[in-house]
Amino acid sequence: MNNDRADTRMNPQTATAPRIGVFDSGLGGLSVLRSLCRLRDDARFVYVADSGHAPYGDKPVDFIVARSLRVADFLVDQGVDMLVVACNTATAAAVKALRAAHPELPIVGVEPGIKPATQRTRNGRIGVLATEATLRSERFQLLAQAHADRIDLTLQPGVGLAAAIENHALDSATVRGCVERCCAPLRLAGVDTVVLGCTHYPLVADLIASQFGEDVALVDTSEAIARRTLDLRPLGQALGTGVDTRLQLWSSGDPALLTAASQRWLGTSCLAQPLPGPWNRVDGA
């Protein structure tokens, strides 16, 4: 029997507290988890950073689907009653497969905020900074057609940016150089709104903003995703505890990196644990 599930049932203080699983290809999903923690003080969270296989953005679709299914299976085994796919690339490639595999589980995905961007733009020029996999996905193409048919969209692949954020200090020359390279074409296009189409990118929003003038707005959907999660899962009984006691962190890469990142972005001292071996493999072997 899963001990965490048993504890939740027996403790009257946590009996109605939702247990929400959140995963990303790495550290980027912490931007979504931060919004969730702020909005949902009644919930427990289990977060998986699949950093050992990051970034997803330059991987084949079959690989992304296989990893997403494997991580989702782990989260279900931890007793979550809801899943947040806090990764644009994984949502675009795998959310259908995830819903087919777990039809009993409410699943929330993320997608680039094109619709809110069309409401904010003044000159009709919007830049979308996202991974190559997200930009070429059918899901993204349908999203753009639905909300931006009369908008001048500049699609900019963030080549190497998620990996730089994952593997280097956020104020490092590597990250700064990558941000500058990715933002230069958007400046030349004269966009007045930039969609952050990868959950890693809000972690360097200040650096991205510095590449543009004050009149250029950045669109980050992290809080909107958190509110969507709230809509799907009714409020439970407030736990009355801090984030540390409500959070489990797991990583398929170096747990120390996830621990440090969560300390910075969530203000928690929770120690990340290594993702167990069976869930670290890509195939079913």
Among the candidates 202, 220, 238, a domain finishes at 220
Q: Hunting for tokens 């039809």 — which residue is that? A: 103
**Is 284 domain-assigned?**
no
145-154, 260-269, 274-283: least confident range: 274-283
- Based on the domain organization, do 80 and 127 belong to the same domain? no
20-34, 43-57, 204-218, 235-249: least confident range: 235-249
Whichever domain contains 86, its CATH number is 3.40.50.1860
- Based on the domain organization, do 170 and 230 belong to the same domain? no
Residue 160 has what pLDDT?
95
Number of domains in the chain: 2
Which residue ranges make up the annotated binding site for substrate?
A: 24-25, 56-57, 88-89, 199-200
- What does the pLDDT average to over 13-31? 83
pTM for the structure as a whole: 0.86
Residue 29: both structure tokens together: 């999903």
Residue 244 has what pLDDT?
64
Provide the pLDDT confidence category of residue 10 given band limits of 50, 70 and 90: very low
Structural domain of 210: 114-220
- Based on the domain organization, do 123 and 42 belong to the same domain? no
**Is 29 domain-assigned?**
yes
**Is 285 domain-assigned?**
no
Contacts of 194 (CB under 8 A, 6+ apart): 126, 127, 128, 129, 183, 186, 208, 212, 216, 217, 218, 219
Question: Is residue 74 a contact partner of residue 279, using CB atoms and an 8 Å limit?
Answer: yes
Which residue ranges make up the annotated binding site?
A: 24-25, 56-57, 88-89, 199-200
**Is 193 domain-assigned?**
yes
∠ at Cα 37 (219, 112), nearest 5°?
Answer: 25
Residue 257 has what pLDDT?
94
- Based on the domain organization, do 51 and 175 belong to the same domain? no
Q: In angstroms, rounded to a whole number, what is the distance separating the alpha carbons of residues 129 and 132?
A: 9
Angle in degrees, 0-180, between the axes of helices 30-39 and 255-266, rounded to the nearest 10? 40
**Residue 145 to residues 108, 148, 181: CA-CA distances in angstroms?**
21, 6, 27
- Based on the domain organization, do 104 and 229 belong to the same domain? yes
- Based on the domain organization, do 180 and 197 belong to the same domain? yes
- Based on the domain organization, do 228 and 215 belong to the same domain? no
Provide the pLDDT confidence category of residue 240 given band limits of 50, 70 and 90: low
Q: In angstroms, rounded to a whole number, what is the distance separating the alpha carbons of residues 134 and 280?
A: 23
Question: Is residue 195 a contact partner of residue 210, using CB atoms and an 8 Å limit?
Answer: no
- Based on the domain organization, do 101 and 82 belong to the same domain? yes
Q: Which residues are catalytic?
A: 87, 198
- Based on the domain organization, do 233 and 211 belong to the same domain? no
Question: Is residue 200 a contact partner of residue 165, using CB atoms and an 8 Å limit?
Answer: yes
pLDDT tens for 44-83 read: 999 999 999 999 988 999 999 999 999 999 999 999 999 9
Question: Is residue 100 a contact partner of residue 75, using CB atoms and an 8 Å limit?
Answer: no
Provide the pLDDT confidence category of residue 13 given band limits of 50, 70 and 90: very low
- Based on the domain organization, do 134 and 213 belong to the same domain? yes
Q: In angstroms, rounded to a whole number, what is the distance separating the alpha carbons of residues 267 and 261?
A: 9
